Amino acid sequence: MVIDDAVTLMGSTNWTVSAARNSEDLNLVASPDVAAAYSAHWRNRQAVSVPFARREDWCRRPEVADFKSELPPR
């Protein structure tokens, strides 16, 4: 989560009262550079997103089935 283009919250936390009993992880980074990078990454992911209607359709999409081709070479 990016707040005011300056603060980035990263991690996984449950924003409820039960969070105090769980093992939660939340990092606050006060850096406009980190916020910009995080926002840019989110916009890039959003640009290549496709609507998801049913699991059956998702599993049959060739570009999803071949996701390994998007990984960088080792």
Alpha-carbon gap, residue 9 to 2, rounded angstroms:
6
Give the total residue count for the chain: 74
Query: Which pLDDT tens digit goes with each residue over 23-69?
Result: 788 899 999 999 999 999 999 998 988 777 776 666 665 555 555 55
Q: Judge whether residue 4 has pLDDT over 60.
A: yes
At 21 the pLDDT is 80
At 17 the pLDDT is 79
At 13 the pLDDT is 82
Task: Decide if 48 contacts 63 (C-beta within 8 A).
Answer: no
> What are the residue boundaries of the structural domains of the chain, listed by start?
2-70
At 19 the pLDDT is 73
Other CB atoms within 10 Å distance of the CB of residue 35: 19
Alpha-carbon gap, residue 31 to 69, rounded angstroms:
33
Residue 68 or 1, more confident: 1
